[in-house]
Amino acid sequence: DHSSNPKENSRIIIEDITPTIYFPEINPFNVRQTPEKIILAWNFERGKDKYQRQEIHEIGKITNKVFLVEGDVMTDVSVSMIGTLNLKAEELTMVDFLLIEHVPNWKTGRRYFGYSDYYDLDSLFYAINNRLSLVDSILDEHAEPLLTLPEGILDENGRVKREKLKMIEVPAGAGSDGKPEYIVWNASLESAFNEIDKLFESLFMVSEISPDALGMGKGLSDSGRALKLKIMRTIAKIARKRLYYDQAIKDVLYKAQVLAKEWKIEINGKKLTKEPVRPDIKWADGLPIDDTEQVETEAKKIDAGLTSTADAIMRIDGVDEQTAEAKAKKIQEEHQINMPTMDLGGKNPFSTPNPKEAPKK
């Protein structure tokens, strides 16, 4: 967010953009290459007129265009005609990279855009929905069973409507003992429900989501480690998706630092004087923390010399570095052992003589 004068700049804005307006110019010979031009295009209205706004991103500059849309015809109009937009035809970014970072979810080397998480699950969704719908229809159909009556009870002169009473007459000797009874149908839906269970198993397998992650697993997990072993497939999937998000977030934060320095933007009243750096991100797996297991792990790290007490306190208690160091110092003071001074038989100048011991002649 800036003006023509760099000294008047105030802030750096990081925001997400819906993929529906994202149109990069892709290199067909190398789909993994960063596009040299990215167009953001979306429609808007002013009164009865319809327009399309285009924001064209290239290295070092952003070009703004507005088109008047009339059916299938688009006419380029000046950005100044839409006064409420407050746009300039061209803006310099003063940096040598694009300001847009693409997060593809997950992808292969044959395409630039990533795949949806539901890419290979639609057929399973349809099969599960179809089977559940059929079971529901069968149960609805037989929710009100027919009533059988001995022959001759119903009046055939129209005074009783059989379809309203949902009953039928059974001739004598046709297996009826002459008393009214309901026709009960054995649905035999065991095979249908078994198929539904198999479809859900296929859904979990294809989507790489462990049933234990949704509370649908068999048996209980007595520790956090046991739960992690059960949902290993899901954790592996998260790790693959994290590769793209980790790189994108680091790039965005790095670019924000470069922009702030180039445009002399103050952050909390201070200007960036040092070189921008790519941050480190510590990701959590999202699972509930097993406190007992975590304390045991940190204690083993301290004993093995792989971490400090302050770092362990930061991870266990979730406090900042200053608070953790103060707590670690307090713990060290409480456990400090005052070793007594050794008595070397009067030869130690710091030793205290025993008053009960008689001096030697």
Region 138-144 average pLDDT: 78
Mean pLDDT, rounded, of the chain: 81
3-state secondary structure of 300: helix
**Contact criterion met (CB below 8 Å) for 71 and 58:** no
pLDDT for 158 equals 43
State the angle between helix axes of 309-317 and 291-303 in degrees (0 to 180), rounded to the nearest 10.
170
Q: Could you tell me the two tokens for 305?
A: 């010399």
pLDDT at res. 361 = 47
pTM: 0.68
- State whether residue 63 is helix, strand or coil: strand
| Max avg pLDDT among 55-59, 145-149, 243-247 | 55-59
pLDDT in tens, 300-346: 998 898 899 999 999 888 888 899 899 988 888 887 755 555 555 55
Contact between 312 and 252 under an 8 Å Cβ cutoff? The reply is: no
SS (H, E, C) 194-228: HHHHHHHHHHHHHHCCCHHHHCCCCCCCCCHHHHH
Q: What are phi and psi of 86, to 5 degrees?
A: 55, 55
Residue ranges in 142-189 assigned as alpha helix (H): 162-165
Residue 56 bridge partners (DSSP): 39, 63
Quick one: pLDDT at residue 343? 58
DSSP string, 26-61: --TT-TTSPPSEEEEEEEEEETTEEEEEEEEEETTE
Q: What is the pLDDT of residue 182?
A: 66
Cβ-proximal residues to 315 (8 Å cutoff; 6+ apart), any chain: 294, 298
Residues 206-221 have pLDDT tens digits of 988 888 878 777 766 6
| pLDDT greater than 60 at residue 2 | no
* Predicted confidence band of residue 3 (pLDDT cuts 50, 70, 90): very low
**Is 106:120 a contact under the CB 8 Å cutoff?**
no
